[in-house]
Amino acid sequence: MNKTKLSADSATVMTEVVFPNDTNPVGIVHGGRIVQLMDIACAICAQMHSGKIAVTAGIDQVTFRQAAKLGDILTIKAHITRTFTTSMEIYAEVWGMRLPELKPFLTNNAYFTFVTLDAQAKPTAVVPLKPFTTSEKKEHKEALKRRKRRLG
């Protein structure tokens, strides 16, 4: 087993289409649906990194930047920014594209915290993350500051 993993090893990309049941009466996607998609992408990312079940422990402020609408194509991206003893921070963002332009626009972003569980559903050690690129090293450093704020 590897002693460390790279963020790219578990980076996750999902694509969805906004259907009528995803929207409110004026055709804008429900915020809860966006958060659900982000949470799923982060869970996949966390489980790919750890090789174990991982559950949501927290979500930082979800920023709604631009509304996605009925028929838009959504791309949800998630990658690990830092691991801790039993938890990991994952950054997620949602990009929308609208026909016919297909010009990407950022709809949402947030940081999620996931905890890895063993077979008895108890927190267990996470495989350490090795930041590789300059931006990964910056995210890794900033993740510690965000964690300190979260824990008060």
Q: How far apart are CA 132 and CA 152, in angstroms?
A: 29
Tell me: the pLDDT tens digits for 46-55?
Answer: 999 999 999 9
The answer to whether residues 79 and 91 touch, using CB atoms and an 8 Å cutoff, is yes
The rounded distance, in Å, linking the Cα atoms of 152 and 133 is 29
Q: What is the pLDDT of residues 13-35, one digit of tens each?
A: 999 999 999 999 999 999 999 99
Q: Report helix, strand or coil for 62.
A: coil
Task: Output DSSP code: residue 10.
Answer: T
Domains of the chain and CATH, by start: 7-151 (3.10.129.10)
Mean pLDDT of the chain: 95
**The model's pTM:** 0.94
